[in-house]
Amino acid sequence: MRTDSPSDVLPSRDHLPATWRDVPVLDVVIPVFNEEKDLGPCVLRLHDHLTRTFPYPFRITVADNASTDRTPRVAAELADSVREVRHVRIDQKGRGRALRAVWSASDAPVLAYMDVDLSTDLNALLPLVAPLISGHSDLAIGSRLARSSRVVRGPKREFISRAYNLILRGSLHARFSDAQCGFKAIRGDVARVLLPLVEDTGWFFDTEMLVLAERAGLRIHEVPVDWVDDPDSTVHLVRTATDDLKGVWRVGRALAVGALPLDRLARPFGDDPRDRQLTGVPGGLARQLVGFCVVGALSTLFYLLLYSGFRTFTGSQAANALALLVSAVANTAANRRLTFGVRGRDRAVRHQAQGLVVFGIGLALTSGSLAALGAASGDPAHSTELAVLVAANLAATVLRFLLLRSWVFADRRETSSEATAPAPAPTYDITHAHDVQNPTYDLQNPTYDLQNPTCDMTAPHDPRNAR
């Protein structure tokens, strides 16, 4: 299991200052592939809308996704004529690959993307990014499936969209309503930590990003949108659906075995300064207490059922020991996963061994109670035995929680230099060579440097420097 020190997790969200002028606050990425016809009108319409309605500096980045028509030339002309427009060339296809490349290089604190067909009403753009600017949320998505959304599209696409989101809810327990709407935004600090964990480079990129963010406890804001479907869309539905199902299986398996270091995406509880001044209170105490109580209640019922079953063919002491042993193993496993958030197989045997020590203490308390009851009444009724066991278990429960928190799972909060080392961010080789083995990104503007996070993306485009 991987743990992270406080310096490796995300800081508290802050409201961007109203005087922010150093770099564009919003970078809207438009990934395109062979869109020479629609690209110009789309960018100009978006630029006009942002100029009229957006109160912060902005940038529009055209991510040319290995187009083979006149799209690169159209994008370069737009970058030359409109100051807020930039053009990035990526030599391999894949919407996820394009978004990862541009978002990873952008210096804007809020990153967004939308499809080139502008199917979404642009009036939803400011509500989409406002919660990210204010510090309220980490990601934001447009939803075509919200009750107040107004959508115009054919029954085939409507069925596929709703079926896909039902699959996500059933298999990955996703709570967001629309995974594939081409209208999303993310805070830059979140993107720098989250994107290295996202493997997909195609259409499943959105879903994987949202699932990981949600599992890590990040806040996802949803905006109802007005959507008019593009009848000329070039998306291959069958191939995309197949790739998405493969992605669902891959992400579900990774989450099940705890292979993803989601702890690094944790945020402090609350952004109120008073929350940061609290000392001596272990983090997550309230959540752990709730989880422990739920697991404890279910374990107690399981224990009593086992005791009643074992009691039919053995004595009370043996029935108690067997029932407590079986329920203790289940209780430790459930608390490990649900209460203390420990995933994967690392130290699972050690945790179970320590849990058996805690079981021994509970056995001593409950067995002692049964022995005292037998000495006092000789042959007590079964209902009396159950009542005594419930009371003894309540006392043992308090001690069990303290031992689990301070001893069994205390190592979850320990850190080491190996455990806290952040995963390296993906790098992209900027060369002129077109090598299939070494994907390249030919940038129209030489001031872009995807290897160097300090790249200047605000310098005007000079067509004389175009490669």
For 368-413, the pLDDT digits (tens) are 887 888 788 777 787 887 888 788 877 777 777 888 877 888 744 4
Q: What is residue 111's predicted lDDT score, i.e. its pLDDT?
A: 97
pLDDT surpasses 60 at 133: yes
Q: What is the pLDDT of residue 103?
A: 95
How does 316-332 read in b/e, with b if 16+ C-beta sit within 10 Å? beebbbbbbeebbeebb
- Report the pLDDT value the prediction gives residue 190, as an integer from 0 to 100: 93
d(CA 279, CA 183): 41
Average pLDDT rounded to a whole number, residues 108-113:
96
Better pLDDT: 256 or 65: 65
Percent above pLDDT 90 for the chain: 30
Q: Report the first-to-last Cα separation within the chain, whole angstroms.
A: 46
**pLDDT tens-digit profile of 139-165?**
999 998 888 888 887 787 778 888 887
Query: Does pLDDT of 172 surpass 70?
Result: yes
pLDDT at 22 (0 to 100): 72
In this prediction, residue 86 carries a pLDDT of 95
For residue 355, pLDDT over 90 is answered with no
The pLDDT assigned to 402 comes to 81
Tell me the pLDDT tens digit for each residue of 230-272: 766 555 666 777 788 888 888 888 888 778 778 777 765 554 4
Report pLDDT for 448: 38
Q: Which of 17-21, 402-406, 458-462 is most confident?
A: 402-406
Strand partners, 183: 114
Residue 8 has pLDDT above 60, yes or no: no
SS3 81: helix
- pLDDT, residue 224, reads 93
Q: What percent of the chain has a predicted confidence (pLDDT) above 70?
A: 79
* Average pLDDT of the residues in 98-114: 94
pLDDT: which is higher, 458 or 201: 201
Residue among 31, 92, 90 nearest 441 (CA): 90
Amino acid 203: pLDDT: 85
What value does the mean pLDDT of the chain take? 78
- pLDDT tier at 228 (50, 70, 90 boundaries)? confident
- Res 453: pLDDT: 39
Residue 449 pLDDT grade (very low, low, confident, very high; cuts 50, 70, 90): very low
Pick from 49-58, 155-164, 317-326 the range whose average pLDDT is largest: 49-58
Band of residue 192 on the pLDDT scale cut at 50, 70, 90: very high
Q: What pLDDT is stored for residue 118 in this prediction? A: 86
pLDDT band, residue 5 (cuts 50/70/90): very low
User: Which pLDDT belongs to residue 278?
Assistant: 42
pLDDT at 136 over 80: yes
What mean pLDDT comes out for the span 200-210? 91
- Inform me whether the pLDDT recorded for 325 exceeds 70: yes
Structure tokens at 74: 């159209």
Report how far residue 213's alpha carbon sits from residue 175's, in angstroms, rounded to the nearest whole number. 11
Judge whether residue 98 has pLDDT over 70.
yes
Q: How far apart are CA 311 and CA 322, in angstroms?
A: 10
Residue 438 above 50 pLDDT?
no
The pLDDT confidence band at residue 47, using thresholds 50, 70 and 90, is very high
Q: Is the pLDDT of residue 77 over 90?
A: yes
The predicted structure's pLDDT at residue 268: 59
- Comparing CA positions, the residue from 341, 310, 348, 362 lying closest to residue 412 is 341
pLDDT of amino acid 428: 37
Determine the pLDDT at residue 370: 79
Lowest mean pLDDT among 52-56, 239-243, 431-435: 431-435
The pLDDT of residue 321 is 81
Task: Please list the residues that pair with 258 across neighbouring strands.
Answer: none
Average pLDDT, integer, range 293-298: 84
Compute the average pLDDT of residues 424-441.
Answer: 37
Q: Decide which of 300 and 344 is more confident.
A: 300
* Most confident stretch, 4-8, 33-37, 348-352: 33-37
